[in-house]
Amino acid sequence: MNRILIAAASLGALALAAAPAHAERIKFDFWYGNTGAIAEVVQKHCDLFNQSQDKYEAVCTGQGGYDKAEQNTIAAYRAKQQPTIVQIYDAGTVNFMLSDAIIPAVQFAKDHGMNVAWDSYFGGIKNYYATSKGEMWSFPYNSSTAMFYWNKDVWAKIGKTEAPKTWSEYAADLKAMKAAGVSCGLALDYDTWTALEQFSASNDLPIATMNNGYDGLGAELLFNKTAYVDHMKDYKSWLDSGYAELHTEQTGKDIDQAFADGTCASIFESIADFRNFKKTATGFNWGVAMLPLLDGKERKNTLVGGASLWVMKGKTDQEYEAATAFLNYATAADTGQKYIVENTGYIPVRADGLDLLNKEGFYQKPENAGRELAIASLTASNGTPVTRGIRLGNYTSIRKALKSELEAAFAGQKDVQVAIDDAVTTGNEILRRYEQTFQGAQLP
């Protein structure tokens, strides 16, 4: 009798042990590139998703940087160990489009019954991650754009209460501030994202032929023949006249630190850093504004920064089912966009996200004042042929080449025009090499 009881009990125990196994969640891998405080936000987003339902489990792993996320995904794909979803930054878009290793977002949504209102993505965001035909190949996740951060207390010294609207007005402000005894009006580094890309987009200037590369891999760089050259000459003269200072990791503090501690009165930086500045730049009044424009220009949309989510090929149907649930969750107005916007400096990526935030009065709150300008900047126009984005191969190397030349120009070793010409020559060699590597491939 006892034996039967024990046997029954152990059978029961077995059944109990087996029960959770039966309901085991479907796991899938999600890799992200964010670091620091934003990485915690992303990790928490995964936890919230896992708590919100009991069928799927997102296994989220930070890769320690956007570039590392791309490198690691490539290495993993070659070893057939790729994640199901990966977060990739703007500069990686071309590689992923040509990789044949991903499932385009439009295709994935169609195959898995996702109901995505593609047209409700803001133009500046949509175009960047879309093919030349306008089909989106990835899901925007954390989107930003460049803004002008200005120290209102310093501007008050020259009797102004508004941020400069044009570059010439800005130059006059810098001069007036110098005369008023301000030691540094602008903190500069050699970053090309704000100085070349956002500057060119807002003024509707091309960076490369073939509509910045959207029309094919044969594009050639053009920025040595646009107003960008004069813009860099202005930077150089501002540095020489003591209006601006160079601040990089190597000089001791980067531009963010130089602005936050009051050393320099303004910077050009991503809206993503807005919340950081709320914590670090507490010793003075500051605000954000849209980038100044060249005289007589009509404002066009700036380009999106940040990253988007790509779905990798070669995973099981179950993993894709789980990924679908996650993508729905992470892009929805309330569980996705609102969560990201409230916890970082990023902006909503679709109209439904913005509507929800507006309804809740998010942008009316004093601590968020100015953040809506980032959306206004991104949607200033619907995307001219050269403000859709930049689709150039190995753009990381082109940025580096330009940065190296600017270092020489700002240090006075080279004329600004010569330096930018040299950067374009090097950049075109890089583009031709990329074109040859992807011989026969067509940009979608």
Confirm or reject binding of residue 34 to another protein (CB under 8 A): no
Confirm or reject binding of residue 413 to another protein (CB under 8 A): yes
Confirm or reject binding of residue 408 to another protein (CB under 8 A): yes
- For another protein, which stretch binds (CB under 8 A), given 138-146, 245-253, 337-345, 372-380? 245-253
**Which of 39, 101, 229, 294 touches another protein by CB under 8 A?**
101
**Which of 44, 55, 365, 433 touches another protein by CB under 8 A?**
433
Question: Residue 29: helix, strand or coil by DSSP?
Answer: strand
Minimum CB separation of residue 101 from another protein in Å reads 5
**Which of 168, 343, 404, 428 touches another protein by CB under 8 A?**
404
Closest CB to another protein among residues 56, 96:
96
Confirm or reject binding of residue 242 to another protein (CB under 8 A): no
Closest CB to another protein among residues 237, 251:
251
| Residues numbered 47-66 forming contacts with another protein, rule: CB under 8 A | none
Number of H helices, E strands in the chain: 20, 11
Minimum CB separation of residue 351 from another protein in Å reads 34
- The DSSP H or E segment spanning 208 is none
Report CA Rg, the chain: 24
Spatial distance between the Cα atoms of 144 and 378, rounded to a whole number of angstroms: 9
Alpha-helix residue ranges (DSSP H) falling in 53-202? 66-78, 93-98, 105-111, 123-128, 152-157, 167-179, 192, 199-202
**Which of 160, 233, 253, 297 touches another protein by CB under 8 A?**
253
Closest CB to another protein among residues 290, 307:
307
| Residue 333 CB coordination number (10 Å) | 20
Phi-psi region of 239 (alpha: psi -120 to 50; beta: other; left: phi over 0): alpha
**Which of 175, 403, 417, 428 touches another protein by CB under 8 A?**
403
Spatial distance between the Cα atoms of 348 and 119, rounded to a whole number of angstroms: 14
Confirm or reject binding of residue 36 to another protein (CB under 8 A): no
Number of residues that bind another protein (CB under 8 A): 37
**Which of 407, 418, 421, 428 touches another protein by CB under 8 A?**
407
Question: Residue 58: helix, strand or coil by DSSP?
Answer: strand
**Which of 51, 115, 282, 436 touches another protein by CB under 8 A?**
436
C-alpha distances (whole Å) from 138 to each of 165, 337, 416 are 34, 15, 37
Closest CA to 394 of 434, 422, 362: 434
Closest CB to another protein among residues 170, 410:
410
Closest CB to another protein among residues 342, 421:
421
Output the six-digit token pair for 397. Answer: 């190397």
C-alpha distances (whole Å) from 369 to each of 282, 400, 413 are 15, 34, 43
**Which of 28, 66, 77, 277 touches another protein by CB under 8 A?**
77
Closest CB to another protein among residues 299, 400:
400
Phi-psi region of 169 (alpha: psi -120 to 50; beta: other; left: phi over 0): alpha
Confirm or reject binding of residue 363 to another protein (CB under 8 A): no
Closest CB to another protein among residues 110, 433:
433
Confirm or reject binding of residue 437 to another protein (CB under 8 A): yes
- Tokens 């703007």 correspond to what residue? 90
Strands 56-62 and 305-312: unpaired
Confirm or reject binding of residue 417 to another protein (CB under 8 A): no
Closest CA to 305 of 142, 164, 65, 191: 142
Confirm or reject binding of residue 428 to another protein (CB under 8 A): no
Confirm or reject binding of residue 252 to another protein (CB under 8 A): yes
Confirm or reject binding of residue 71 to another protein (CB under 8 A): yes
- Within 250-348, strands assigned E span 266-270, 286-289, 305-312
Residues at the contact surface with another protein, assessed by CB under 8 A: 67, 70-71, 74, 77-78, 95, 98-101, 246, 248-253, 394, 396-397, 400, 403-405, 407-408, 410-411, 413, 426, 429, 433, 436-439
